[in-house]
């Protein structure tokens, strides 16, 4: 209990309701995202996981609700846009776009540059260093249409890393990647956490939640539970979250 | 002799500028999968042209093109509104608005032609285009507008690039997709309108799409694609004008479009990497490699 009171939060979501047309996707969501944690957002298909991230990032307009970014004294960037970085699902873009890997990673610097200003040598250096970090240094001049699913994901991750943000939102970064890439991404996430960054990940694989994350939010239209993995991620909460889907939780060692 | 002819020079310069602008703007239209927008906007411009004539009673190109611009913009606005507030998809909304506007344009055109004494001859030129009617001041207008368009493109290059590739990510960085979409659409509509007098409402979409599609075949870099699109467009403009001047009774606009299409055909067939011939060759090469390998395996067994 004592630990909990010492938690510092970076984002507070209050009374958030989002609907597409008339169908509500998120209903009256209250959520606090703690600083320096690796948080998984878990729930069945259509539970509103991606929508939650997009609403927090102000990418869609909610029906109601309030999203508060809490300014910490240690934060260097005053602009909220520059404090957060977003890794969208890699399937949402046209990978036949005429561009190289380096071009795409450089796009991550555009937010810090602002309107009109072009990326310079310093930005290119950061992009190349980051490509090395995600194990893609040999691919910097490669055309993006030639990348595998795992490589695409690494490129997207690099694009977010060059933003040097405080809070990272990732929409299913493990989707369609090989085991090797998954392990590499997990290492990067832990590395971010060690630097005191906050990472929020939409995650599908219940088997790996305890291994990868230390914080979890269970969601299905409403927030079922949110807290430390060892306190919140148990059979009863999972049953409530996946109730409507009739999904069996066979083999779950919880 | 012909090449030093003043009229020829005017028309060739005008066509080259049109090709250049539409090649660059078409690059973004094609990559945003909005190739058809050019078709929609150019057809929708017709009622604007005729209304401009009815209201002002002048055949000054500036006024007519202003009318075209307004009705082109109105159609774009209507299309996006329909897509946003109904379940009708983009292609259906486009087809709908395009034919309604074009129909209205034709009705107005017929009406104007029946007014006695109205000096309406020449409005027809906007349907199929009449490059030979280009005058020095028309070309000057194209140069001024074209320079502004290119300048805007250079200034907002980075923003247009990220918006075209991944608009959601662009938004997360604080680049409003709404503003960028509006600006780019406005620029594209302006570019289309500039080409109406030369190639007409029906062929204008080809000028927008063809150079860009051809350019995509040769490169994997956005900047090079835009540059090649401009070159291909300008070459089509100049060659089309030249050929139609040498051969009597050959209309300029359609000849320009045919040249652009020829470049597309060559590019689709011959370009290294993406070209059909290269891909066929690679497939065959791989197949023969596989057969050799299999033969080797067989001999080792």
pLDDT tens string B105-121? 999 988 888 876 566 66
Say which DSSP state B57 is in: -
* pLDDT at A91 (0 to 100): 84
Is A253 a residue whose pLDDT tops 80?
no
Which parts of A119-234 are beta strand (E)? 167-171, 198-203, 215-220, 222-228
Rounded Cα–Cα distance for residues B294 and B291 (Å): 5
Q: Which residues contact B164 (CB under 8 A, 6 or more apart)?
A: A97, B28, B31, B32
Q: pLDDT band at residue A195, thresholds of 50, 70 and 90?
A: very high
Is A5 a residue whose pLDDT tops 60?
no
CB A49 within 8 A of CB A43: yes
Q: pLDDT band at residue A76, thresholds of 50, 70 and 90?
A: low
Helix (H, G, I), strand (E, B) or coil at A233: coil
Q: Which residues contact B96 (CB under 8 A, 6 or more apart)?
A: B82, B88
Average pLDDT, chain B: 89
CB A69 within 8 A of CB A13: no
CB contact under 8 A, B158 and A81: no
Best of B24, B33, B173 to disrupt the A interface by mutation (most A CBs within 10 Å)?
A: B173
Rounded mean pLDDT of B130-159? 92
Rounded mean pLDDT of B22-37? 92
CA angle B192/B222/B161 to nearest 5° reads 75
pLDDT tens digit sequence for A147-163: 998 999 999 999 999 99
* pLDDT at B114 (0 to 100): 81
Chain B 136-165, residues with CB within 8 Å of chain A CB atoms: 155-156, 158-159, 161-162, 164-165
Q: pLDDT band at residue B128, thresholds of 50, 70 and 90?
A: confident
CB A237 within 8 A of CB A223: no
Is B36 a residue whose pLDDT tops 90?
no
* pLDDT at B229 (0 to 100): 97
* pLDDT at A188 (0 to 100): 93
Which residue of chain A has the CA closest to B222?
A98
Name residue A20's beta-bridge partners. A23
The answer to which of A206-215, B233-242, B272-281 has the lowest mean pLDDT is B272-281
Rounded mean pLDDT of B180-197? 91
User: Which tokens go with B202?
Assistant: 């029906």
What residues does each domain of chain B span?
A: 2-270
Burial class of A79 by CB neighbour count within 10 A (0 to 12, 13 to 18, 19+): exposed
| B172 touching chain A per CB within 8 A | yes
Which parts of chain B are beta strand (E)? none
Domain B2-270 has CATH 1.10.3470.10: yes
* pLDDT at A79 (0 to 100): 73
How many residues are present in chain B?
301
> Sheet holding A23-34: strands in order across?
A23-34, A9-20, A64-69
CB contact under 8 A, A107 and B162: yes
| A60 touching chain B per CB within 8 A | no
For A86, which of B165, B169, B220 is closest by C-beta distance?
B169
Rounded Cα–Cα distance for residues B243 and B253 (Å): 11
Q: Which CATH superfamily is domain A1-75+166-182+194-254 in?
A: P-loop containing nucleotide triphosphate hydrolases (3.40.50.300)
* pLDDT at A244 (0 to 100): 61
Q: pLDDT band at residue B289, thresholds of 50, 70 and 90?
A: confident
| B175 touching chain A per CB within 8 A | yes
* pLDDT at B300 (0 to 100): 59
Q: Quickly count: other Cβ atoms within 10 Å of residue A182's Cβ.
A: 17
Is B154 a residue whose pLDDT tops 90?
yes
* pLDDT at B201 (0 to 100): 86
Is B74 a residue whose pLDDT tops 90?
yes
CB contact under 8 A, B175 and A115: yes
Which parts of chain A are beta strand (E)? 9-20, 23-34, 38-42, 64-69, 84-87, 167-171, 198-203, 215-220, 222-228
* pLDDT at A251 (0 to 100): 45
Helix (H, G, I), strand (E, B) or coil at B80: helix
* pLDDT at B115 (0 to 100): 76
Listed in order, the ranges of chain A carrying CATH 3.40.50.300 are 1-75+166-182+194-254
User: Which tokens go with B190?
Assistant: 């302006």
| B91 touching chain A per CB within 8 A | no
Q: Which residues contact A253 (CB under 8 A, 6 or more apart)?
A: none
Which strand (E) or helix (H) includes residue B142?
A: helix B136-155
A15: left (phi over 0), alpha (psi -120 to 50) or beta: left
pLDDT tens digit sequence for B158-172: 999 999 999 999 999
Is A252 a residue whose pLDDT tops 60?
no
pLDDT tens digit sequence for A26-38: 999 999 999 999 9
Helix (H, G, I), strand (E, B) or coil at B17: helix
Q: pLDDT band at residue B55, thresholds of 50, 70 and 90?
A: confident
CB contact under 8 A, B158 and A84: no
For A59, which of B168, B220, B225 is closest by C-beta distance?
B168
Name residue A70's beta-bridge partners. none
Q: pLDDT band at residue B63, thresholds of 50, 70 and 90?
A: confident
Looking at chain A, the whole-number percentage of residues with pLDDT higher than 90 is: 61
Q: Which residues contact A180 (CB under 8 A, 6 or more apart)?
A: A150
Rounded mean pLDDT of A217-243? 89
* pLDDT at A2 (0 to 100): 47
Q: Which residues contact A223 (CB under 8 A, 6 or more apart)?
A: A29, A30, A31, A217
Burial class of A142 by CB neighbour count within 10 A (0 to 12, 13 to 18, 19+): middle
* pLDDT at B299 (0 to 100): 64
Looking at chain B, the whole-number percentage of residues with pLDDT higher than 70 is: 95
Q: Quickly count: other Cβ atoms within 10 Å of residue B292's Cβ.
A: 10
Question: How far is C-alpha A250 from the geometric centre of its chain's CA atoms?
Answer: 27
CB B253 within 8 A of CB B130: yes
Is A74 a residue whose pLDDT tops 70?
no
Say which DSSP state A43 is in: -
ipTM associated with this complex: 0.88
Q: pLDDT band at residue B152, thresholds of 50, 70 and 90?
A: very high
* pLDDT at A254 (0 to 100): 39
């Amino acid at each position: 209990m004592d630990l909990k009171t010492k938690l510092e939060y970076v984002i507070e979501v209050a009374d958030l309701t989002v609907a597409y047309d008339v169908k509500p996707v998120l209903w009256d969501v209250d959520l606090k995202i703690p600083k320096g944690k690796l948080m998984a957002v878990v729930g069945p298909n259509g539970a509103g996981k991606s929508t939650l991230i997009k609403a927090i990032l102000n990418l869609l307009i909610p029906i109601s609700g309030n999203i508060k970014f809490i300014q910490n004294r240690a934060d260097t960037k005053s602009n909220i846009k520059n404090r957060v970085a977003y890794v969208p699902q890699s399937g949402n873009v046209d990978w036949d776009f005429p561009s190289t890997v380096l071009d795409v990673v450089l796009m991550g610097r555009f937010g810090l540059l602002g309107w009109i200003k072009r990326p310079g040598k310093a930005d290119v250096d950061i992009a190349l260093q980051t490509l090395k970090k995600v194990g893609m240094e040999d691919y910097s001049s490669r055309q993006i249409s030639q990348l595998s699913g795992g490589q695409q994901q690494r490129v997207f991750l690099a694009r977010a890393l060059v933003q040097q943000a405080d809070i990272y939102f990732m929409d299913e970064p493990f989707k369609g990647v090989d085991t090797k890439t998954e392990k590499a991404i997990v290492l990067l996430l832990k590395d971010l956490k060690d630097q005191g960054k906050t990472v929020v990940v939409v995650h599908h694989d219940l088997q790996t939640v305890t291994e990868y994350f230390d914080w979890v939010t269970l969601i299905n239209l409403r927030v079922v539970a949110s807290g430390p993995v060892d306190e919140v991620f148990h059979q009863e909460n999972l049953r409530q979250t996946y109730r409507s889907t009739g999904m069996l939780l066979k083999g779950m060692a919880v | 002799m012909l090449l030093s002819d003043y009229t020829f020079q005017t028309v060739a310069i005008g066509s080259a500028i049109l090709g250049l602008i539409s090649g660059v703007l078409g690059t973004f239209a094609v990559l945003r999968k909005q190739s058809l927008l050019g078709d929609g906007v150019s057809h929708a411009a017709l009622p604007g042209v005729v209304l401009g004539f009815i209201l002002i009673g002048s055949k000054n190109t500036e006024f007519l093109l202003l009318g075209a611009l307004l009705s082109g913009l109105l159609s774009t606005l209507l299309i996006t509104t329909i897509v946003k507030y109904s379940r009708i998809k983009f292609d259906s909304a486009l087809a709908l608005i395009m034919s309604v506007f074009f129909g209205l344009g034709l009705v107005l055109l017929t009406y104007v032609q029946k007014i006695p004494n109205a000096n309406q001859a020449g409005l027809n030129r906007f349907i199929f285009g009449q490059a030979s009617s280009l005058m020095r001041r028309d070309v000057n207008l194209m140069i001024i507008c074209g320079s502004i368009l290119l300048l805007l493109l250079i200034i907002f290059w980075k923003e247009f690039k990220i918006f075209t590739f991944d608009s959601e990510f662009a938004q997360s960085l604080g680049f409003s997709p709404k503003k960028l979409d509006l600006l780019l659409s406005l620029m594209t509509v302006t570019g289309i309108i500039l080409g109406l007098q030369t190639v007409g409402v029906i062929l204008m979409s080809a000028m927008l799409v063809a150079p860009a599609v051809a350019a995509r075949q040769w490169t994997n870099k956005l900047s090079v694609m835009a540059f090649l699109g401009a070159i291909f467009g300008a070459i089509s403009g100049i060659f089309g004008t030249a050929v139609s001047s040498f051969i009597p009774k050959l209309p300029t606009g359609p000849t320009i479009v045919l040249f652009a299409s020829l470049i597309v055909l060559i590019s689709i067939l011959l370009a290294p990497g993406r070209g059909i011939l290269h891909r066929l060759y690679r497939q065959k090469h791989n197949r023969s490699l596989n057969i050799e390998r299999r033969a080797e395996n067989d001999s080792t067994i």
